Amino acid sequence: MVDETTKISSLLLILLVSSVRGWPRTVRPMVHLHGQRTVTTTKSLVTRTLGLSARITGLPQAQEEHQRPPDPQSLFSSQEELEAPVGRLLDFWRDKQNIFCITGAGLSTESGIPDYRGNNGSYHRGHKPMIHQQYMESEYQRKRYWGRSMVGWKGFDGALSNPGHVALAELERKGWLGVTMKDRPEYYEPDQVDEYYLQSTGERKVALVTQNVDVLHERAGSREVIHLHGQGDILRCMQCGAKQDRNEFHMELEYDNAAWLEAATEDYDESTEMRPDGDALVKEVDYNEVHVPNCPHCKTGFFKPDVVFFGDTVPKHRVAICQGAVDAADGILVVGTSLAVHSAFRHIRAASSRGIPIAILNVGETRAELEGLDHLLKVEAPAGDTLSLLVQKLTEMGKTV
């Protein structure tokens, strides 16, 4: 438990940061999807910020259950009820030509991949994600990760794109989503800079950046996608840098651990035990018995999913692309994320400071509201149905809204 001194210190720190940024404001009206206006007082804002801060930093959160957002699918029972939130998004689209999108785990929940902080989120069930330092420094933690991944990866990788992914792909295809910006060498990994000088057309297009490590956007047809936190289906050797397809690695992993895997999956229920990282909760087993193959290229290095684990940093070239996309945008659409993680929220804060309108489609409060960002439209509705109806309405109007 966090003692009272720690709680007071956290509160004082938040108030200090608040005074520097000019928030919390004494009264902050927020217009919700039904046109209701609610007033957020300084006390309630700080209280909820403490809760969000706990979730970001890993501090214990006694009120976590109280803060669990509602099930998105429980909010609306018919298309008629979606008319109001979709109408607000149509108004947002008005006169905009360069909308940039940021998506999060809440978009993929309709595909059966759990999120962290949603209604049935992994954090509410006691899931503790892999920490970068743990993975890099502990052979046991790597064995534990790959043991659990042998159980959970097939369900994760086998998920299908849902209507929300399809709608965003259609918005991009019709030219209603995405920005075009000048291409720059800083948008490439260090070993890809030569590619920029040899092959770049001078322009860079970006439709959306996703915090998700799945590839459901691409499977739905999205083309210009940036994976802020990497892709779970690609592995990288931590010694020589060689990359390998994850499914190929799993074939060898499962062959080497057939007996262990059979014991671990006894009574396994994918519907309740799969985790957002592509691993799973399995019954008590000895992870020391798991054999993890070394990199076949250098023979001694170990593979890590080419993703940003908690405690790691986003590669600089991806940050630069997002910054460039925000600068080129005249509107930002946020879908399915609480923005609790700084790597995505920093771009929303930058857009707000530049006066760029922001529309957030998410069930549950986000960090943008807690910090009282300006130029913010919040819509609480299920992502898939709402985005699908938005595409239908834009198509009927010929994008003349």
Cβ–Cβ under 8 Å, residues 239 and 295: yes
Residues 148 and 40 grouped into a single domain = no
Q: Is residue 103 part of a domain?
A: no
Looking at the structure, tell me whether residues 36 and 134 fall in a common domain.
no
Per-residue confidence in pLDDT tens, the chain, 401 aa: 444 444 444 444 444 444 434 433 333 333 343 333 333 333 333 334 334 433 333 333 333 443 555 555 556 656 778 999 999 999 999 999 999 999 999 999 999 888 555 444 444 445 667 899 999 999 999 999 999 999 889 888 999 999 999 999 999 999 999 999 999 999 999 888 988 888 899 999 999 999 999 999 999 999 999 999 999 999 999 999 999 999 999 999 999 999 999 888 887 665 545 565 666 677 667 899 999 999 999 999 999 999 999 899 999 999 999 999 999 999 999 999 999 999 999 999 999 999 999 999 999 899 999 999 999 999 999 999 999 999 999 999 886 54
Q: Does 136 lie in the same domain as 12?
A: no
Q: Is there a catalytic annotation at residue 229?
A: yes
Domain boundary, last residue among 307, 327, 352: 307
Of 398, 367, 333, nearest to 92 by C-alpha is 333
Tokens of 173: 């295809």
Of the candidates 307, 331, 355, which is a domain's last residue?
307
Place of tokens 């229920």: 269
Residues 129 and 10 in one domain: no
The model scores a pTM over 0.75: yes
- Flag whether 365 is in a domain: no
- Per-residue confidence (pLDDT) for residue 164, from 0 to 100: 98
Residues 359, 332 contacting (CB under 8 angstroms)? yes
271 and 143 in one domain?
yes
The answer as to whether 4 is a domain residue is yes
Q: Looking at residue 70, what is its pLDDT? A: 55
Residue 56's closest CA among 330, 346, 319, 286? 346
274/153 same-domain check: yes
| Residue 8 resides in a domain | yes
Q: Which domain holds residue 131?
A: 125-157+231-307
Place of tokens 């595409």: 391
| pLDDT score recorded for residue 129 | 76
18 lies in some domain: yes
Q: What total of structural domains would you count in the chain?
A: 2
d(CA 144, CA 136): 13
pLDDT of residue 21: 40
Host H or E run for residue 209: strand 208-210
Within a domain: 167? no
Residue 100 lies inside a defined structural domain of this protein: no
Active-site residue, from 229, 250, 291, 342:
229
Judgement on whether residues 147 and 284 belong to the same structural domain of the protein = yes
Q: What's the pLDDT score for residue 130?
A: 84
pLDDT value for 7: 44
Cβ-in-10-Å burial (0-12, 13-18, 19+) of 392 comes to middle
For residue 19, give both structure tokens.
């005074």
* Residues 343/312, Cβ–Cβ less than 8 Å: no
* Domain end marker among 307, 335, 359: 307
Residue 245 within a domain? yes
Distance between CA atoms of residues 241 and 239, nearest Å: 6
> b/e string for 286-316 if b means 16 or more Cβ within 10 A?
ebeebebeebeeeeebbbbbbbbbbebebee
